[in-house]
Amino acid sequence: MGGAGIEGGQIYGASDKLGAYPHENPVTPADFVATVYNQLGIEPHTEAHDQQDRPFTLTKGKTIPLQMS
């Protein structure tokens, strides 16, 4: 990620020795979306409603801890 005050050149987590699978701090697409919402000032777990007024959560992901510049 870059921009929005996020410090560039950071490493988060680690892969296995072959680089095939996450070894530390795996991140899901939902975590990425939660982080983007958070950086935009939107609570990632906000409940919204569709056109039939059914509730849904914006994302079930966790915000990735980032260093800010």
Buried b / exposed e across 9-44, counting CB within 10 Å, b at 16+?
eeeeeeeeeeeeeeeeeeeeeebebbbbbbbeeeeb
Give residue-wise pLDDT tens across range 15-69. 999 999 999 989 999 999 998 899 889 999 999 999 999 999 999 999 988 765 5
How far is Cα 11 from Cα 9, in angstroms, rounded to an integer? 7
Confidence tier at 10 by pLDDT (50, 70, 90): confident
SS3 32: helix
In this predicted structure, what is the pLDDT of residue 12? 80
Q: Where are the alpha helices (DSSP H) in 28-67?
A: 29-39
- Residue 1 pLDDT greater than 80, yes or no: no
In this predicted structure, what is the pLDDT of residue 49? 96
